[in-house]
Each structure stands twice: as C-alpha cells, then as structure tokens.
Amino acid sequence: MKIYLDETVKDSELFRNKLEFEICKPEIFKYGIMVEEVPSYIVDSDFDYLQSKIPAIELLHSDFINVQERKIENLSNDDRKKKTISEIIGVAFGIKYTVELLNTNPNKFKKIGTPTNGKYLDYSLIVDNLEFELETKGTVSKYYNSELV
C-alpha cells in the first residue's frame, strides 16, 4: 500500500523530502509493536524486547487487518479490539514514515512518558543531534470508520 501526504504539510521543508511511502502488512506489526509497554524489570533495550514480541502481536491481530492496494480495513466488531487495531496501524504508519523521512533506524525511538501537566507526544528520537517528537494517530475520535483510506 502506498501512502501520500496531504496538503497540510506541502509547504514544510522537512516533508518535501518524502511525499509518499509504502507499507505492507508485516511492517504494520514491525512498527506497530511500539505501541506496547515494556515492563520495568526488562534489562534489554526497549526496542530489542519489543521486536521479540512481533510474532505474538501478529498472531493476535493479523486476522483483523485487511490490507488492500488502496485501503486498510479494521475487521474487528469489538469496540476495544477495534481501538487496539487502529492504534497499532497509526503507530506503524507514523514510525515507518518517520524512519524513512529522517533516514534513521526504528531502534532510536523512545516512548515518551506521561507528563506531569499538559499534552504530550508519543515518541522521541535524536537524529543528527536534533530531537524529534512524534504524535501518532490511531483512533482520532469516539466514533471511527473501519476503513482507513
């Protein structure tokens, strides 16, 4: 599936480098695994720990994601599962695009903890001594469509 950026970023210098990207179903799980929490007792890197869990997340959720040439469908009928699938897809898209845009590696992403006040973003990474913060979008409202076009 090929994804194109919308008009909201057309004037941004940063986004001119990457106007489209492709994502396949296995990559949804490769990047979407970052939605998961890493237990505090884990001594491995967060990235390594989460990458070891890709087969599990794929087994649990693969039947509920239908990837077609021009759309991705969330096939779940359960509202909680539907939200989980939507979040996985949103995180996968955001991280995959950022990896390609900044020509970096997904192991540089760190989940941002809950702030003491105000809104926070989801992930941060440092590339060329610049810190980037990323907000991914999965579920964007209480009611959402099963088709992500």
Per-residue pLDDT tens over the stretch 89-120: 999 999 998 999 899 999 999 888 776 666 66
CB 66 within 8 A of CB 59: no
Q: Which residue has the higher pLDDT, 122 or 52?
A: 52
Q: Which pLDDT does position 137 carry in this prediction? A: 73
pLDDT at 13 over 60: yes
Q: Which pLDDT does position 138 carry in this prediction? A: 66
pLDDT at 142 over 50: no
Summarize the confidence of residues 78-88 as an average pLDDT: 93
Claim: this prediction has a pTM higher than 0.85: no
- Sheet containing 123-127, strands listed edge to edge, beginning at the edge strand earlier in sequence: 110-111, 123-127, 130-134
With cut-offs at 50, 70 and 90, classify the pLDDT of residue 54: very high
For the record, the structure tokens of 142 come out as 């209480």
